[in-house]
Amino acid sequence: MKVLVTGGAGFIGSNFILYWLKNHPKDKIINLDKLTYAGNLDNLKSVENNPNYKFIKGDICDPKFVNFLIYNEQIEIIVHFAAESHVDRSILNPAPFIKTNIEGTYILLEAALKNKIKRFHHISTDEVFGALKLGSKTKFNLNTPYNPRSPYSASKAAADHLVHAYYITYNLPITISNCSNNFGPYQFPEKLIPLIITNILEGKKVPVYGDGLYVRDWLYVEDHCRAIDLILQKGKLGETYLVGGLTDDISNLEVVKKIIKIMGRSEKIVEFVKDRPGHDRRYAIDWTKIKAELGWQPEFDFDTYLKYTVDWYTRNLDWWKRVKTGEYQEYYKKQYCK
């Protein structure tokens, strides 16, 4: 099978490529990535000489290039991760989110249709559903109406609708997955968990937005890759699958305190900072459909994966120190030193 992975140099995409080459050694993977600030080929060093892996630098917003690539490489399956993915950056500047997440997805869909792709799998987020009330037991499910509240989630919602529309209108064989917050190796340290771990390793304070009582549903990245694999093997065309973790309403502050405890530091390093505008209070995902239909569930609990993740960042100082330079420093100043 020839698989095109878009955004394969990013956090989840690179974990997916490593997972796929290990579990499907006969398949060929083409990684198409623009290498924005979030793309990092260091993540894929261990497979760069694998004859079944090829990296191609390019932009999903370039229709001629995308169409030629899919035709020329005789792509059969597209797994679409490429996106601008960070809510805070979407608040600072929505333009690249509209361009890549909406227009880029449209361009890929057109090329997939033209080249009679066997499957187009679109990776999306639970953030398209908006926010749940703190303290309620409600979870996002497949009947929850879309209600995105940030430029990032609005752009992902638009992309989801387009992907679904191509199934209904043109019969393009699609599947969609909406997952919760991922964490694990190779996550860019602008997101909460790697930012906290690496700040602690640098002896810095750890920033918590607002009152810290915001709730996310935490999914370990390798569990997510396994879910995508099952959807590609056994998922029903035209369907959406929700993928979440094993956390039971854990607040950001609790997550941060767990990391501090694992790393043996004092809670005095917590610094409450200015809240994010329009900050979604609570996310929780009902993933019973993928469990019932495809037999998927997370392998280990949150604490086990959190310890593993702390350990990974502690052992891979070179990886994140290279990332936390240049552009990152500029971004950090803009975001945290207001």
* Binder of residue 123, out of ligand TYD, ligand NAD, none (CB less than 5 to 8 A by kind): ligand NAD
Per-residue x/- marks for ligand TYD, 267-286, CB under 6 A?
A: ---------x----------
- Strands 119-125, 218-220: pairing kind: unpaired
* Separation of first and last alpha carbons in the chain: 49
- Tracing tokens 């929700």 back to the chain, one arrives at 242
What SS3 class is residue 146?
A: coil
The span from the CA of 284 to the CA of 298, in Å, is 15
Closest CA to 9 of 61, 51, 59, 75: 59
Rule CB under 6 A: say whether 244 interacts with ligand TYD: no
Bridge partners (DSSP) of residue 220 are 183
The radius of gyration of the chain's CA atoms, rounded to the nearest angstrom, is 19
Catalytic residue at 308? no
Catalytic residue at 311? no
Residue ranges of alpha helices (H) inside the chain are 11-23, 63-72, 87-92, 95-97, 105-114, 151-170, 192-201, 221-234, 252-262, 288-294, 302-315, 317-323, 327-336
* Binder of residue 10, out of ligand NAD, ligand TYD, none (CB less than 5 to 8 A by kind): ligand NAD
Indicate which single residue of 59, 252, 306, 309 sits in contact with ligand TYD (rule: CB under 6 A): 252
What SS3 class is residue 191?
A: coil
The span from the CA of 10 to the CA of 84, in Å, is 10
* Binder of residue 195, out of ligand NAD, ligand TYD, none (CB less than 5 to 8 A by kind): ligand TYD
Catalytic residue at 127? yes
Single out the segment in contact with ligand TYD by CB under 6 A; choices: 23-31, 63-71, 208-216, 232-240. Answer: 208-216
- Tracing tokens 């000489």 back to the chain, one arrives at 49
Rule CB under 6 A: say whether 244 interacts with ligand NAD: no
Rule CB under 6 A: say whether 36 interacts with ligand NAD: yes
* Binder of residue 104, out of ligand TYD, ligand NAD, none (CB less than 5 to 8 A by kind): ligand NAD
90 residue type, one letter: S
Q: Are 179 and 12 in contact (CB under 8 A)?
A: no
CB 82, min distance to ligand TYD, A: 17
- Tracing tokens 């994010």 back to the chain, one arrives at 276
Q: Are 10 and 85 in contact (CB under 8 A)?
A: yes
**Which one of 33, 59, 84, 126 is the catalytic residue?**
126
Rule CB under 6 A: say whether 225 interacts with ligand TYD: no
Q: Name which of 58 and 96 has its Cβ closer to ligand TYD.
A: 96
Rule CB under 6 A: say whether 309 interacts with ligand NAD: no
Closest CA to 153 of 124, 195, 176: 124
Rule CB under 6 A: say whether 323 interacts with ligand TYD: no
Indicate which single residue of 2, 164, 191, 307 sits in contact with ligand TYD (rule: CB under 6 A): 191
Of residues 72-91, which lie at the interface with ligand NAD (CB under 6 A)? 81-85
Rule CB under 6 A: say whether 11 interacts with ligand NAD: yes
Query: Which residues are catalytic, by number?
Result: 126-127, 152
Using CB under 6 A, list all residues that contact ligand TYD: 87-88, 181, 191-192, 195, 207-209, 214, 216, 252, 276
What is the binding site for ligand NAD (CB under 6 A)?
A: 6-7, 9-13, 33-36, 38-39, 59-61, 81-85, 100, 104, 123, 125, 156, 179, 181-182, 188
